[in-house]
Amino acid sequence: MSKHEQIFVGLDIGTSKIACVVAEAGPDGRLDVIGIGTHPSRGLRKGVVVNIESTVESIRLAVEEAELMAGIEIKSVFTGIAGSHIRGYNSHGVVATKGGEVTSEDVDRVVDAARAMKIPADQKILHILPQEYIIDAQDGIREPIGMSGVRLEVKVHIVTGAVSSAQNIIKCCNRCGLDVADMVLEQVASSEAVLAQDEKDIGVALVDIGGGTSDIAVFLDGAIRHTAVIPIGGDHLTNDLVVGLRTSAREADHLKRKYGACMVSMVSPDEQIEIPSVGGRPPRPMPRQVMAQILEPRVEELYELVKAELTRSGYQELLAAGLVITGGSSLLEGMVELAEEIFDMPVRMGRPDGVGGLVDVVSSPMYATGVGLIRYGHNYRQTSSVAVGRGGPSVLGRMWGKVRQWFGDEG
């Protein structure tokens, strides 16, 4: 079925929702979203699968919905991976070129040399993302193949993840009859969908603030420099409201989306809202500012942790394009304004971009990862380039077997 070769499916297995995005690639390289399915996610905690059965059920329902809308059968998906088990390292490798001119084989060898680092036994490599090549003494090279030189060096960002977490994602997909074409770090996927190339060139930090976690990726000179995960997301905001407003989690989430704000100064002291109570008691009126008083310190705490992470990365001063926030929680009123105050940098909300078709639906920041996965799949599946910024499955030229590696000999 040649039609299916043009179909890319992103399956974002998030803590709050499972989103399945189906896109068709046209001959001119454009991607049109032709189907979307979403379902509340029940089997994850802080970005990690903790209940296979419930996750499988949610995936099945999201995928069925997307299949129905797109009118196709989904067999293979690009899926995301996230959680506190993810580690990012910077590493480098050096080799001598074989013929005085850099070949793709030399590039494979030097990337291989860079991956030769000690990784804990329960972790495996998810991505090797080249940052720059250095040929003899010339640094800052993005496309090394064909250049003259005898000494080839590469700087890379290596991302590793817990074997068990990756296996569980693959298991869930397999149980729904889906093959995993590739597993992509969620903030790497999101950055494909919401960041512009010039932002990545001059320096930018992406923060995908979801339900369970906030995932960070830092870019400079077109390449990824730092990745990190902070185990705080929108669910923590909801929980604070449950306690502070004495209402159910469902209601708290609903109220947060409808009336929530994370800056007290943005809400008029006169505005009143109604809080549904638990246990059959009548609803209570309350100033809307009370919600902001509960949410502001928690968002502040989250942003302070992000800031500390950026300082730790050493790139904080180099981010000329500032900060881009995405993920469902970036929709909370005041998120951009409070970030501008705390980070003292330009901040914008990142909405998925670069696709056609059902754009109205997928332009919510909640779909950053889902859309990013199809863009990632589309960009890197066929290319054989190993240029900087092309951190996709082709980097080592043998990534078809990558997903299988998580099961070692079993696969």
- What are 93-97's contacts with CB under 8 Å, separation 24+? 93/153, 93/154, 93/156, 94/151, 94/152, 94/153, 95/151, 95/152, 96/150, 96/151, 96/152, 97/149, 97/150, 97/151, 97/152
Q: Pick one of 10, 14, 392, 393: the residue that binds Mg ion (CB under 5 A).
A: 14
- The b-or-e profile of 185-200 (16+ CB within 10 A means b, else e) is bbbbbbbbbbbeeebb
**Closest approach of ligand ATP to the CB of residue 80, in Å:** 8
The one of Mg ion, ligand ATP, none whose footprint includes residue 47, by CB under 5 to 8 A per kind, is: ligand ATP
The one of Mg ion, ligand ATP, none whose footprint includes residue 260, by CB under 5 to 8 A per kind, is: ligand ATP
Could you give the CA distance from residue 51 to residue 79 in angstroms, rounded to a whole number?
17
Inter-residue contact 342 to 263 (CB < 8 Å) = no
**Closest approach of Mg ion to the CB of residue 150, in Å:** 45
- CB nearer ligand ATP, residue 322 or residue 365: 365
Closest CA to 191 of 169, 161, 215, 156: 215
**Closest approach of ligand ATP to the CB of residue 1, in Å:** 31
Name residue, tokens 């394009």.
321
The one of ligand ATP, Mg ion, none whose footprint includes residue 253, by CB under 5 to 8 A per kind, is: ligand ATP
- CB nearer ligand ATP, residue 104 or residue 239: 239
**Closest approach of ligand ATP to the CB of residue 328, in Å:** 2
- CB nearer ligand ATP, residue 261 or residue 399: 261
Cβ neighbours for 239, distance < 8 A, ≥ 6 positions apart:
249, 252
SS3 at position 144: coil
Interaction pattern, residues 354-383, with Mg ion; x per rule: CB under 5 A: ---------------x--------------
- CB nearer Mg ion, residue 289 or residue 330: 330
**Closest approach of Mg ion to the CB of residue 208, in Å:** 6
Inter-residue contact 21 to 188 (CB < 8 Å) = no
Could you give the CA distance from residue 228 to residue 231 in angstroms, rounded to a whole number?
10
Interaction pattern, residues 188-227, with Mg ion; x per rule: CB under 5 A: ----------------------x-----------------
Residues that bind Mg ion (CB under 5 A): 14, 210, 369
